[in-house]
Structure 1
Amino acid sequence: KEIIDLPHKEFVEFHQKYYHPTNAMLFSYGNFSLVDHLRIVDEFALSKFDKSDQKVVFSDEIRFNETQRINVSSPEDPLIPDLSKQTRMCIAYLCNPISDVQETFAMQILSSLLMDDLPSPLYRALLSSNIGSSYAPYSGYSSSQHDSSFHVGLEGISENQLSEVEKIIDETLLKAVETGFPQKAIDSVLHRIELGAKHVSSKFGLNLAYSMIHLETHEIDPFMSLRITQKVKKFKEDLSNGSYLQNLIQKHFLTNKHKVVFTMKADPKFTEELQETETKKLSELESKLSEENKAEIVRNTKLLAEYQGKEQDINCLPTLTRSDIPSLIERFDGKQSSTLNNDSVSSSLASNLRSSSPILYSTVQPTNSLGYISCLYNMNRIPAELRKFVPLFAHCVTEIGTETLNAEELTREVNLRTGGMSASCNVILHHSDLMKYDEYVMFSSFALKRNIKQMMNLLVDIIYHPSFQNKERLKTLITANAQDFSGSLQDSVSFALTHASSQLFPSRNVIEMFSGIEQARFMNDLVGDLSANLDDLASKFQEIASVLTNSSVDRCLITGDELCLPEFHANLSNLDSKQNISSFPDSKLNESFSPNLNPTPTFFSLPISSNHVAAVIPTVPLTHIDYPKLQILSQLIQSLWLLPEIREKGGAYGAHSSQRNGIFSFSSFRDVNCLTTISKFGMAIEESSKGNFSDIDVSQALLSTFSHLDTPISPSQKGVSFFISGITNEMRQTARDRLLSVQKDDLIDVSNRYLLPYLESFQNFNVPQQSSDTETDQKFATISVVGTETIESSERPDHWNLIKMSE
């Protein structure tokens, strides 16, 4: 609302003041010459500016003398069945300045103790009680500003529960002062800090920069963020001196007058009234414009269009060339064993994945005394009617409890001994045959070397002995999962892409069922009468667990340094189930699937302010000779046409094209347009098929492709693509060789053969064919849009399939 009233002059002045090198921080990480880096920065950036005396200085926040209350409205969420529970509330406390690095560290620990898991006081009081569906967004401790803050609240509550929630938060904090925290809880948080310090990520340098930025911005020694051991030692000393954590609660929460209570209530007329307000505001602005003002706007608009249409001179930018790209892959080698309890028979990883007995894959990596394990259990024996419940089963099984440990006990042990337990539902596409795929549930965890035995015991307990009898806990987990689905559906183009792809191949159809809009709608229906369904759900989950684990684990991957792997080998045998599986017949899914060759575009209507647009075309599998050409073509189309036309000129937040296994996709994100964007997809196809691009453009697309392929991989993830999908080093090297040999004519060729036959689909938006005795060679792209309810009729044709998510 305020942006509309922002004068252009103030906007420019703001940019000149804050987006200036004087106000910038430079961060360099790696083994390149720092002197060369600084020379390039000076040549291409700093030397272009004069020094500014407007360096931004942050001052202490002015403190409130009493609680502030803010009430706002929001649109209704159609994926929450109970319209009376669409209120959110959050309490925020302004805490210590982040210049006190030690207290900031202690507050981060305190936040974890209060909120993070099932045994935590606020989690138990707010979530386990099922008052709301999940924490309010941004709940927790934030130290990114000059003064830190703590936020806690709920979403999915009714308006008449606001005072109750506020009272519960106050009482819970007061009780925490009275009782303190168990030593095991403190040890769990410190254990997570130790794991975080040891875990080697793929973006170590960037993460290092991000951890320092907020300190450097406020002129605090940035290296303080790295002194973990020093801060832990001081924390333990402070803890031993008495009620340290309780005093922090008293100081920053209970007696803190700088407190804001923020409430957001759903209004069924929000979207309509917002549109009316904006229309009225624009009319007022227009009425104040003179004819000269209007003419100036028209002139500036034309000038902008001309500027955006100019071909940019990229020769002025430093760049790599093909010769700079390494010709050889980084090989990921490991060992394979035919059983889980015998590592003596081993060979290269390049062997058949589909063994009749469990296969163990092990890779030695510099993991800093951490051991990682992933186990795949085949879903083929799970009855078809239970398949749609498997993603929800996977979400719950690691947090519901077991036959020997209740949910709270399990959570505490997992946090004390491991970096967490996860289960996920996976559809694994075959690398060479688009009609083949596998379905697995994957269980994963990692731990310090000293805790690998305990981790394996917990993993076995979770996989083979889960208990779904705690109905209240089950309700909490399912409600939170449904809330996550609802939020992501409204702000992610992936749902549109998944739905569009589901009509092309059986594997993609299963992915839609497991993680697409179909699963979101299934979750919505389930939560609508959740209390009545809990007994039935518990029974279904128990049956899934029995079927899944009565057949032996399909394969395991263990990764660690040379000291960790022997710990795994000594504790793996329990994962190999010996139970009788004859009572569970094989069940196949999608045996009768056939692709939709004449799909009607689908528009999923939601109360959001923009659209997520997706269109897909079937192509070739990963090992096909044309796959690398299509990969580079997708990068070329994205940079030359989609980003300039759809993002820069059309106003969308993002525009992408991509070649994945069997699918060439186009998409836009947070896009006010729909048909206009789809027509731009077609324009890109037409331009690329005519060869309207240069050899330099091809080289840039090639470099962009390799920038994704050669992204650093953390030690824990090396070899995972082979373990999951059977993609060998030889396949990866062949793909790399083919990529490096791609030329302009190759891209024109694949554009004409794979994309151009679908051009008319992007121009007429899949108008249904009239009945005719004559056959047509026209091919139809599959189009799906997750979009706004208020879209203009001219942007959504009548023949499209309209699905109102609010119904």
Structure 2
Amino acid sequence: MEYRNYKVIKEERIEALNGLGILLEHEKSGARIMVVKNDDENKTFNIIFRTPPKDDTGLPHILEHSVLCGSRKYPVKDPFVELAKGSLNTFLNAMTYPDKTMYPVASCNNQDFRNLVDVYMDAVLYPNIYDDPRILQQEGWHYELETLEGEITYNGVVYNEMKGASSNPEQVLFRQIQTALFPNHPYGYDSGGEPDAITDLTQEEFLDFHRTYYHPSNSYIFLYGDLDVTEQLSWLDEAYLSDFKKIEVDSELVKVEPFTSRNHVTKSYAVGQETKTDNKSYLSYNVAFDKPKSQCENLGLEVMEYLLLDAPGAPLKEALLKQNIAEDIFGSYDSGLRQPTFSIIAKNTNVEHEALFVATIESELAKIAREGFSRRRVEAAINYFEFKIREADFGQYPKGVIYSIKALDTWLYDGDPFENFAYDEAFRQLREGIENGCFIGLIDTYLLNNPHTALLRLIPDAQMLAEKEKQLKNKLNIYGGMLTEEDKLALIEGTKALKKHQAEPNAREDLEKIPLLDLTDIKKESTPIHYEVVKNEGHEWILHKTFTNNIVYMRLLFDFSPLTFEELPYVSLLTKLLMRMDTKQHTYSELSDEINIHTGGIRAETNVYGMNNEPDICQTKFEVKFKCLGEKIDETVTLVKEVLTESLFTDLNRLKDLIFENKSRLSTALTSGGHTVSINRCSSYFNISARYKEALDGITYYEFLEKVVSENQFETVAIKLKEVLDKITHRENLHILVNTEARLIAPVKEKLQELITVFPEKSIAYDETLPIIFETLNEGFKTASKVQYCALAGDYVQEGYLYNGHMKVLQTIMSLDYMWKEVRVKGGAYGGFAGFRRNGLFFLGSYRDPNLNKTYEIYRALPDYVKNLKLDDRELLKYIIGTMSNVDVPLTPQMKGDRALALYLSNVSKEDEQRERDEILSTTLEDLRALGQLIEDIIGQDYFCVIGNESMIEEEKHLFITVKTLNQ
């Protein structure tokens, strides 16, 4: 088919995406376009630019933020936020990678999709950055000075975001791996920005980067879903692309020539001054290589990484762990670069183990290259990947967004993007390759005989943070000493002017240029999740029938509320051990193979379901989730039975390895997810759901693991694990979720009923539910972070209020107006948000926040903001629509079953959902203002918690009841 003003390069059916693929070039501008036309209502647009960094100033990242701060057609200060407030988007974001910057959006509503695409195209091609230097100051960096006697400081959203990123040792590690493998190359620089270098970025460099790279000739445009392709392409041509002539853009990622000898690099990362640095280093063995020749090889490398390092019993990981040189071993294969990388990482080790680390890797790889993997092991691994790819369930990420990123693995480097989706042929070739040593060949070619290697040591430094803070202070003092009083007054005026600009509302006429849907575009009736509940001898079945493409999703949920508080960490630990320990029938390695061959996965987790308007009640569940194809029900249920009734915890060496690994990875999660950890910890002072969650996966659980390791309690833990598992796996209060097609319900029920009979009706060890004791701690946790995560929470049911849909609208307003402006835009934090939960919980939180007390002052001022809220009819409509985008989220078949279960266990009825919807759609300004008293009452409860910089928490320790170091 022909498309006016476009040259069709390729057009073919892409079976993996269930659609027609079209590859085009816009003739005048040179823009590259890939279209996937299929029946997915969740349409996706993504425009990508190739953006190789030239230094560590984070220019690509800062520009990603900045182009979304106003444009030619949409001159408001933050059209991105205005879209978030008032569109039905299912995805709205922008991302910076080492060599590309992308702007994806998605929506199920046709008009909304067109609106989103228009705002994003105008933003990237015609941003206001050329006319307003305050954009770089706000999003990148600027000097701040408030009085002549005050201290000069740096501030800026990306500056503070990257201070947070550089506080995470694993982000530092992966950044330094790229520098070690690609010195003096764009991949060797930090596209996100090094905080010390960000402040060197000038306005001229900033604008020049946009002029150079943000041109259609350097763009890759991806369109996906049930689109009118002709209409969409015509609009792109007429509205934007025809304005540009094709030019040569020098953005090619030049290949780095292989090293002649291994590159050895030593770098440091910051830990707290009270942290013991022994066994806190990282060692990483890294290789880089040319793009694999085919999708089969690329997929083969993913499978190989899994076989070597990720699968239970992975031989390379096992060999390294047996040397007792590290607490955790893991790997990484990154195919999204011009030259992919493969890394083998030892975490929590010492540098003197380096020689043994390298020797073990190379000897074990040579051994595997000689002997290969067992056929069954390789088949199991291939099945594991094939099930994941064919299921194509990315949770709340629209498929089109994920596919657009995958297409770039070849497309960005002038290859064929369709190749990335040739899964049928790739899997066929991989299976054929089992016989002719395919994986042995991959190990030889890409790992053993590859000279392009780098060995990186990343060592802890307890003085680094203090020294960096001292250097920063000296740098700013030197700068301040060079300023005359007149210069300082100008700086003070500049600070005031920026803050005034940030505080000023957008002009009404500019706001009205942002396209807005009408309430008639939103259906008034909720779409209920239909499910059936069947009660049978003390347990309940939740049956959800939907099209699943022959996949059966099942879940067993065992109540564990009667456990003592001290026993709760063992439930969480069980979820990390089951399927990874021996059973009476199989070794853990054999068990992994059986699971991968017959199922789509078996995993255990804990969940806590808060109760609708009942803060003192919750349902605590130990859950075993499993999925398979319809013809594999028998084998899958048999494996679940084996795991739950025959698991052994007697291999103390294996148990120890897994506990060390769990502790290591939780330590990273506590740092990267500090906002979630602080909110949950704060909420645990008074809320029963949060109290359980915190004990199961928060700081309390981490402290439990630390104690087990430091006191060598592995034998005691093994005994206790078996005792707790026997306690909770019984039929009383058991819930079973079956989520599949109607034709498969009966055989699934029959097989599961056989399984259920092996569990006792009631555990003899169960007593009545034990009371949970609450304590207001208001803690400050000191870490090596350069930023803070500040949480405030409270219970509105305690104050006499009940949940309603107006709260949901106010949540949108608080997060995207008040918290955005005060915490992010003015305060410089990367994020700020607010939330209501049906169980009475209200919370405020900040993310990568340079402030502490200032943020709490912002929190305390929130009631006045709400009580005096000013919104015209259009603004209110905008927030209602934006709220509905979070209510009407497209659900995958698996997510529909999960939602049915959550609604049932939380006692949320169809009537409750409709009532919430009615309240959202009918929200008035008076409804919102009335909630100001609720927030004032909650803030008066005075619950807060901070995780952050040790110096700042020490300076503000008078705010806390308890100050302690979070040892990681």
Secondary structure in 2 matching 1:223: helix
Which amino acid in the other structure matches residue 717 of structure 1?
M
Deviations 1:647-691 (A, max 9, x none): 122111111011112112111001010111111123332111112
- Partner SS state of residue 435, structure 1: strand
Residue 218 of structure 1: how far off its partner (Å): 1.7
Query: 1:461: how far off?
Result: 1.2
The letter for the 2-side match of 1:634 is Q
1:780 pairs with 2:941: yes
Q: State the Cα distance separating 1:565 from its structure 2 match.
A: 3.1
**Runs of 5+ in structure 1 lacking a partner?**
340-355, 762-778
Structure 2 vs 1, CA of residues 707 and 130 (structure 1 numbering), >3 Å: closer, same or farther? farther
Determine the structure 1 residue equivalent to 2:112.
none
Measure the CA separation in 2 of the matches of 1:245 and 1:632.
Answer: 54
Match of 1:351 in 2: none
2:323, 2:880 → 1: CA distance? 54
Measured in 2, the distance between the counterparts of 1:220 and 1:442 equals 44
1:222 partnered with 2:417: yes
Query: Are residues 462 and 748 of structure 1, via their aligned partners in 2, closer, same or farther at CA, if it must alter by over 3 Å?
Result: same
Task: Tell me whether 182-191 or 3-12 shows the greater mean CA deviation.
Answer: 3-12
Give the alignment partner of residue 332 of structure 1, picking from 523, 526, 529. 529
Instruction: Work out which of the residue numbers 614, 631, 651 in structure 2 matches 1:470.
Output: 651
1:533-560 superposed Cα distances (whole Å, 9 cap, x missing partner): 1111011001011111244561111112
Quick check: 2:379–2:431 contact (8 Å CA) kept in 1?
no
5 Å matches for 1:161-310?
A: 161-201=353-393, 202=395, 203-240=398-435, 242-287=436-481, 297-298=491-492, 300-310=494-504
The number of equivalent residue pairs is: 760
Q: How does 1:491-506 map to 2 (within 5 A)?
A: 491-492=672-673, 493-506=675-688
- Name which of 119, 125, 128 aligns with 2:313: 119
The residue aligned with 1:368 is 549
Q: What is the deviation of 1:47?
A: 7.1
1:728 to 887, 909, 924: 909
CA-CA distance at 1:507 after TM superposition: 2.8
Per the alignment, do residues 747 and 798 of structure 1 end up closer, same or farther by CA in structure 2, a change over 3 Å counting? closer
Give the counterpart letter for 1:712 in structure 2: P
1:161 is paired with a residue whose SS is helix
Q: Which moved more, 1:182-191 or 1:398-407?
A: 398-407
Structure 2 CA distance for aligned equivalents of residues 582 and 5 of structure 1? 65
User: Are the structure 2 counterparts of residues 438 and 243 from structure 1 closer, same or farther at C-alpha, using a change threshold of 3 Å?
Assistant: closer
CA separation of 1:624 and 1:615: change in aligned 2, threshold 3 A? closer
Q: Which runs of no fewer than 5 residues in structure 2 stay unpaired?
A: 1-195
Q: 1:178 to 1:98 in 2, by over 3 A?
A: closer
Over 3 Å counting, the alpha-carbon distance change for 1:149 and 1:371 in structure 2 is same
Other-structure match for 2:261: 66
Quote the Cα distance in structure 1 between the aligned partners of 2:250 and 2:570: 56
- What is the CA distance between 1:195 and its match in structure 2? 0.7
Which residue does 2:122 correspond to in 1? none
- Report the Cα offset of residue 485 of structure 1: 1.7
In structure 2, C-alpha distance between the alignment counterparts of 1:384 and 1:676, rounded to whole Å:
36
Contact 1:93/1:259, CA 8 A, preserved across alignment? yes
**SS, match of residue 937 in structure 2:** helix
- CA–CA distance in structure 2, aligned partners of residues 538 and 433 of structure 1: 36
Query: SS where residue 658 of structure 2 aligns?
Result: helix
In structure 1, what is the Cα distance between the partners aligned to 2:720 and 2:243? 66
Q: Is the 8 A contact 2:687 2:841 kept in 1?
A: no
Tell me the equivalent position of 2:208. 13
In structure 2, what is the equivalent of residue 741 of structure 1? 922
- Residue 684 of structure 2 contacts residue 690 of structure 2 at CA under 8 Å; is this kept in 1? yes
Q: 1:690 to 1:16 in 2, by over 3 A?
A: same
Alpha-carbon deviation of 1:458? 0.7
Structure 1 residue 569: deviation in Å? 2.7
Letter in 1 for 2:874: I
Structure 1 residues 34-83: Cα deviation after superposition (integer angstroms, max 9, x where no partner): 45545665677657877654352222222211110110011236998x64
Q: Which of 824, 830, 833 is residue 656 of structure 1 equivalent to?
A: 833
Verify the 8 A CA contact 2:726 2:763 in the aligned structure 1. Answer: no
Kindly provide the amino acid, as one letter, of the partner of residue 565 in structure 1: I
**Secondary structure, counterpart of 2:220 in structure 1:** coil
Aligned mate of 1:536, from 676, 695, 716: 716
In structure 1, how many angstroms separate the alpha carbons of the residues matched to 2:439 and 2:771? 56
- Percent identity, aligned pairs only? 21
Query: Displacement of 1:114 after TM fit?
Result: 1.6
On the 8 A contact 1:616/1:783 being kept in 2, the answer is yes
Q: How does 1:21-170 map to 2 (within 5 A)?
A: 21-38=216-233, 53-54=248-249, 56-76=251-271, 83-98=277-292, 100-127=294-321, 130-135=324-329, 139-170=331-362
Shift of 1:316: 1.0
1:518 aligns with 2:700: yes
Q: Secondary structure at the match of 1:374?
A: strand
Inter-CA distance 737–329: structure 2 relative to 1 (3 Å threshold): same
Name the structure 2 match of 1:791.
Answer: 952
Contact 1:128 1:476 in 2 (8 A): no
What are the residue-to-residue correspondences of 1:640-719 with 2, within 5 Å? 640-661=817-838, 662-719=840-897
Q: 1:77 to 1:398 in 2, by over 3 A?
A: farther
**How far apart, CA to CA, are the structure 2 residues paired with 1:88 and 1:2?**
24
Name 1:632's counterpart in structure 2. Answer: 809
C-alpha displacement at 1:466, in angstroms? 1.8
What whole-Å deviation, never above 9, does each CA across 1:240-262 have from its counterpart, x for those lacking one?
4x333222212221121111111
Distance 1:615 1:578, change over 3 A: closer
Distance 1:404 1:708, change over 3 A: same
Structure 2 CA distance for aligned equivalents of residues 722 and 412 of structure 1: 31
Q: How do residues 443-454 of structure 1 correspond to structure 2 at under 5 angstroms?
A: 443-454=624-635
- 1:96 aligned counterpart, secondary structure: coil
User: Is contact 1:200-1:715 (8 Å) kept?
Assistant: no
Q: How far apart in 1 are the matches of 2:267 and 2:243?
A: 45
- After superposition, the Cα gap between the structure-2 partners of 1:781 and 1:15, relative to the gap in structure 1 and judged at 3 Å, is farther
* SS of equivalent to 1:92: strand
Please give the alpha-carbon distance, in whole angstroms, between the structure 2 residues aligned to 1:319 and 1:169: 58
More strand by share: 2
Query: Which residue of 556, 560, 566 maps to 2:740?
Result: 560
* Amino acid across the alignment from 1:495: V
What amino acid is the match of 1:320? Answer: L
C-alpha displacement of 1:229: 0.2
Counterparts in 2 of 1:83 and 1:20: CA distance versus 1, 3 Å? same
Aligned partners of 1:198, 1:191: CA distance in 2, in Å?
10
